[in-house]
Chains A and B, each alone.
Chain A
Amino acid sequence: MYEKHLMICGATGCLSSGSAKVHQALVEELAKHKLEKKCRLVMTGCPGFCEVGPIIVIYPDEVFYCRLKPQDIPELVEKHLLGGEIVERLLYKGPDVDAPARFYDTIPFYRKQKFNVLRNSGIIDPENIDEYIMRGGYRALSRALKMEPMEIIDEVKRSGLRGRGGAGFPTGLKWEFTYKAVGDKKYVVCNADEGDPGAFMDRSILEGDPHAVLEGMLIAARAIGSDEGYIYCRAEYPLAIKRLKTAIAQAEEYGFVGENILGYGFNFKFNIKEGAGAFVCGEETALLASIEGKRGMPRPRPPFPATSGLWGKPTVINNVETYANIPLILREGGLEEFVKIGTEGSKGTKVFALAGKIRNTGLCEVPMGITLREIIFDIGGGIKGGREFKAVQAGGPSGGCIPAEKLDLPVDYDSLTQAGAIMGSGGLVVMDDRTCMVDLARYFLSFTQKESCGKCIPCREGTKRMLEILERITEGLGKPDDLDRLQELASTIKDSALCGLGQTCPNPVLSTIRYFRHEYEEHINEKFCRSGVCKSLFDYFIDPELCNGCTRCARICPVGAISGERKETHVIDPEICTRCGSCVERCRQEAIKVTRVRREADVNH
């Protein structure tokens, strides 16, 4: 029997920060000390704290080592595994803790989280079904198999679970429609085509706990009377797909998938469809078209998939996170537990991907109703480099930005929508005072324009014109009536676009205008970008009060625009300066400021 268990994060995030090398080093080191029999090494799913990866958690001691490099391994093995003492220097350290922290309960990043969907991520070996079972896996399924379809649907309805993919439609209701729809064949489809920039919650769930998704889909199938399902996963998620395939194979082996499942005469078959990564395929009707081998384009609803979905058959389609919630609700006593969490209108937890100018980037799962402030400052550790929080973009390209004054907004479907954003799939992009909101809107719109399926006129042509206006504004060519233009176009698109993506794609623009109108006006009327992003709308200058003449800026400047003697104030020549910003990063005094472009007029008098 093993004495120690080294759970090393093998999810995409940590892999990219080098966990594979660390794993290799561990293998060698363990072999060197003949510890293979004593110590078990597992590549787990994502424990969320990508910022500090690669991560290893050692059980049973529950010690959390982070930022590991291969060269740390000998010491780790030496001290911890052989010597039994904790390696302080590899523990988590940060401004938010006074002493190096050991684990969940002591690391602030984890303190306010509530693990439902991520309950197994980082804790079990996602390629071993037994570990899932021992954590209570497939209990919900075997319970559901004993229930009537309508009983299952009732519990899902009573749980108040709403779709985690974006719109937040009540899942139980969706199932009921599909159950009641007539059809000789019905399908269960999982939308794993996570397309929002910066979002990776679905990937982490699939990589960390694939069986949870399978179990959720199996229960859905039992409820609506389906015998076949599709998981539409983007091809950019090879690891997720590999783990899904393994999981399906193991589940078949155990009799959870296939013919006469667990002897209840219930059959179910999984298919995995790899998506080509078109953003629009995240829209359900486009996704279904894509599975059918057609071009991924949305079609009008009604008919909704519940009545006419895949190949015209009644179809339940939910996203990964939604399905991962199902086993928790359906297992013995799960429902009661589930409804305790969250708010009236939004039950349970939500997984968010923290990105942008936030200290602790990564994945977190929080109870609905928690405030943005808690997520960003307590869990996220606040803004990088102690700068000033400006806004957070919630819900990706379909979402909107929320400004500082709304930081105490409770995170639930309805409050977010009121604030002009959406829950979306759970991307949170945090912005500091160096983010230009006009440029942000431009960025999201260029994304939606590029990804528009091109079918309906408002989206195809409208987003193009909005984008062109925003580009003009950021280049200093904005006109006084541009804001009205933008708002008019936006409302047309919202009101008349064909699909959900189209109808929501103006949100980033509308919300930035709503909360940061002055920035737009400054761009248009004063030709000034105070965030120092729109290059033709500002100059850099060095504040003599702060400059100590260290010459670091002059040395880093690629175009030699900065002059000045040692220990003397330096000067930037705006004619030469390309506003690359490298000097700003370089300056320890924060002496390099953004200022209005000096025009001939100003010079003359």
Chain B
Amino acid sequence: MKRFIDPCCEKCNHSKETPCKDFVECCTNGPICHEDASCAAKRKAIIDRVALNEHFVIF
């Protein structure tokens, strides 16, 4: 299925076959498994875009 949080880079290998313990955390505050400014930025961009107000999340 289409997934909202796409792997930020090839370092991310979460899948149901190879699950990542931090997957949920990563969705909202990712990336967790590695330090990478651009990945973090990518994530932040999405979060900012979707978290519009406390009632509401946008996709």
Contacts and interface: CB of A to CB of B under 8 A. Distances in A.
Whether A associates with B in a native complex is yes
Contact of B58 (A59, A138, A252): A59
Given A130-B3, A255-B15, A263 B21 contact: yes
A255 B3 contact: no
Contacts of B5: 130, 133
A242 to B, nearest CB: 16
Interface string A36-59: 000010000000000000000001
A59 B15 CA distance: 33
Given A60-B53, A260-B19, A128 B25 contact: no
Interface residues of A, number: 35
A261 B19 contact: yes
Interface in A124-161: 124-125, 128, 130-131, 133-139, 141-142, 145
Interface in B23-59: 23-25, 27-28, 47, 49-53, 55-59
Contacts of B19: 255, 260-263
Given A134-B27, A264-B21, A60 B56 contact: yes
B53 A139 contact: no
Contacts of B4: 128, 130, 133-134
A568 to B, nearest CB: 59
A104 B56 CA distance: 13
A261 B14 CA distance: 12
Given A1-B49, A60-B52, A258 B27 contact: no
A5 interface: yes
Nearest to A138: B24
Given A60-B53, A124-B57, A253 B24 contact: no
Contacts of B50: 134
A160 B41 CA distance: 41
Contacts of A262: 19-21, 23-24
Nearest to A5: B58
A134 B51 contact: yes
B23 A128 contact: no
Contact of A128 (B15, B28, B56, B59): B59
A261 B16 CA distance: 8
A443 to B, nearest CB: 40
B30 to A, nearest CB: 11
Contacts of B27: 130, 133-134
A40 B49 CA distance: 14
Contacts of A62: 53, 55-56
Contacts of B58: 2, 5, 40, 59-60
A134 B21 contact: no
B7 to A, nearest CB: 13
Contacts, number: 86
A62 to B, nearest CB: 7
A59 B25 contact: no
Nearest to A132: B57
Given A254-B16, A255-B16, A142 B51 contact: no
A492 interface: no
B23 A142 contact: yes
A531 interface: no
Nearest to A120: B57
B20 A59 contact: no
A334 B35 CA distance: 28
A128 B52 CA distance: 17
B18 to A, nearest CB: 8
B26 to A, nearest CB: 10
A270 to B, nearest CB: 14
B54 to A, nearest CB: 10
A125 B14 CA distance: 24
A548 interface: no
Contacts of A263: 18-21
A136 B59 CA distance: 15
A138 B47 CA distance: 17
A134 B16 contact: no
A364 interface: no
Contacts of A1: 49
A101 to B, nearest CB: 16
A59 B53 CA distance: 10
Interface string A53-75: 00000011010000000000000
A134 B20 contact: no
A493 interface: no
Interface in A260-280: 260-264
Given A1-B49, A133-B24, A252 B16 contact: yes
Nearest to A130: B4
A260 B15 CA distance: 11
A123 B56 contact: yes
Nearest to B21: A263
B55 A253 contact: no
B52 to A, nearest CB: 5
Nearest to A142: B24
B59 A141 contact: no
Given A134-B28, A134-B50, A134-B51, A40 B59 contact: yes
B21 A123 contact: no
Given A130-B3, A133-B28, A253 B59 contact: no
B23 A255 contact: yes
B24 A139 contact: yes
A128 B57 CA distance: 12
Given A59-B53, A134-B27, 7 more contacts: A2-B58, A5-B58, A130-B3, A142-B24, A250-B1, A254-B16, A262-B24
Q: Across chains A and B, which 6 residue pairs bring their CB atoms closest together, nearest first?
A: A130-B4, A255-B16, A255-B19, A142-B24, A263-B19, A134-B57
14 contacts: A1-B49, A5-B56, A5-B58, A59-B52, A59-B55, A60-B53, A60-B56, A130-B5, A131-B57, A134-B51, A137-B24, A142-B23, A263-B18, A264-B21
